[in-house]
Each structure stands twice: as C-alpha cells, then as structure tokens.
Structure 1
Amino acid sequence: MVADNMSYSTVSNVVDTWEQVRRNDNFEEIVGRELFLKFFALEPDAMVIFELDPESNLETLSKSCRFVKHSSYVIKMIDKTLAMLGPDCELLTEVLLELGQKHFCYGVKPEYYLSMGRALIHVVETVLGESRFTPEVKDSWVEVYGAFSYDLIRAQKM
C-alpha cells in the first residue's frame, strides 16, 4: 500500500519539487517528451507496446502528434497521482492497482516500471537542477516512485 511508512518530509519533498516542475510553461508536453525519450533510450523494446518501430528516430518520433498526446497524458496522470499522495492514499492504491492491471494487458513488463522511474527522476532532476534536486529530494523521489511501482507490479500478480 502506498505511503504506509512514508514520512511527511518524503511526501513533502516530492510534492514541493513536482510543483516547481509544474510551473514551467507547457510542462506536460515538455516533461512528457523528455520522459519518454529517456524511457525509450533505457528500454527501446518497449516501443512496440506503443506500436512504434524500435528502429525509429526518436527525435523525429517525439514531434509526432500521437507521441506528444500520449506523453502529455502520462504527465497529467502522474500529476493527478502525486496530488493524491498523502490525503487519499487508500484511493491511490486502488488507482495504481487498476492501472497496473491495465498496463499488464498492454504487455508492460515489470522492469519497465523501474526504467520509467529512472526516467522520471532524471527528468525532474534535469528540470530542477542540482541546487534544488538535492540528494534528500532524490531519495524521496526514489521512495515514492518505488511505492507506486510496487503497487503497479503487484497488480500484475493478482
């Protein structure tokens, strides 16, 4: 279950830094694009789940309407998920389990969640810069995303 043992400072670090990311113009499109570029660099085989050719040029692909729409949608979902962190943890767990089951049907492998976490943390760090993305903040993101991915992966075994 999400946030069973998370400290207030862990949740606060993630929510506060995400709010800083959100302040960027067109953050959904820009952060979404960078998230998926990094994710596909880590997991090129995952492109087939999106019906994309793994041999495609990622820069060209990332400018396609379909790519922009999906990557922006994922950022909106991450935004909503982070908004539930803290006050609605039971609901958040249910949402993540349902999302994990859907992604299992799409063919998402458990290891993709780990790579998506690495990509997300990388993008947040890049947007914020070293001065705001401290080691403590990074640890908080790792813990929160780890809890999210635990429920997403757990759903595949249900």
Structure 2
Amino acid sequence: MKKCFKCGELKPLDEFYCHPQMADGHLGKCKTCTKRDTREREEQLRLDPAWVTKERARQREKFHRLHHTWNHDEKAGRAAKKRWDKRNRHKRQAQWLLSNAVRDGRATKPSACKRCGVEPTPRNLHGHHHDYGKPLDVEWICSGCHGKEHRAA
C-alpha cells in the first residue's frame, strides 16, 4: 500500500506507475491523478498556437517515419493493386460508378453510419455493395463497420 501525494488516498502498488528512480520503484502519484494531470496539461497546451504547430510537425514526422517502414516497397504495392484491379474489374467498375454518382449529385452520401449511427468524416463513410451488379444500391457504413463486415465474411 502506498499513499498518493496528490489525492492523499492509500492505494495498492498496482495503482501507481512503475518508476525506477523512486525508492519503492513506483511513482508517488497514483495512476488516476497522473492521467488527470496529463489531460489537464494537454488541454492547457492546446490553447498555445506555438505548441499546436510544434506538436503537429512532430506527429507528421512520426507518421512519415513509420509510414516509410510500413510501405517500404511501393512498387510491389502498386503492382499488387493493379493485379487486384484486373481480377476484380466488376468491383472497380461499381466503385467508380458510385463515386461518379456521388460527385455528380445522382447519389447522396448520408452523414451517419446506417449500422452504428456514428457520424464519421465523409472519407470514412463507405458505400458497401451487397451486389456489385447494382452499383448504386449500397449500404452507407463507417470504416469500422465496413471492416467488421468483410472480416466476418
């Protein structure tokens, strides 16, 4: 048992983060207080435009660094996509027809997922074809529900 210096509560050691420089090997502040302080600090920092710019640049650099390791062979990826497109022409044509219909106003994309009701960004709302022979007959679902649909099949 250890007493949190922030809230003063006596809690078991598993309620404290490990910290090798502390005498007992655990931070002096409980996990609940640590999370609250971190959240408050970040909310405060988000009000500082300089921090937001710096953080955005840091996240962008991190993405590019990790993205490069994920897609180390872009030529192979493009070749695989071409092979998939060639094998699935009917699917690509249905996707193309739906995309053009949305662009031209002949089909409308709703703002919410039909299954879970979440309102994702337009890019994350997918038209799921149950029958590729009917390209404009789709169920508009979020990317999460769409992934579950295809993993279940």
Larger strand percent? 2
For normalisation by structure 1, the TM-score amounts to: 0.23
Give 1 or 2 for the bigger CA radius of gyration: 2
Larger helix percent? 1
Kindly indicate whether structure 1 or structure 2 has the higher relative contact order, using CA contacts under 8 Å at least 6 residues apart: 1
For normalisation by structure 2, the TM-score amounts to: 0.24
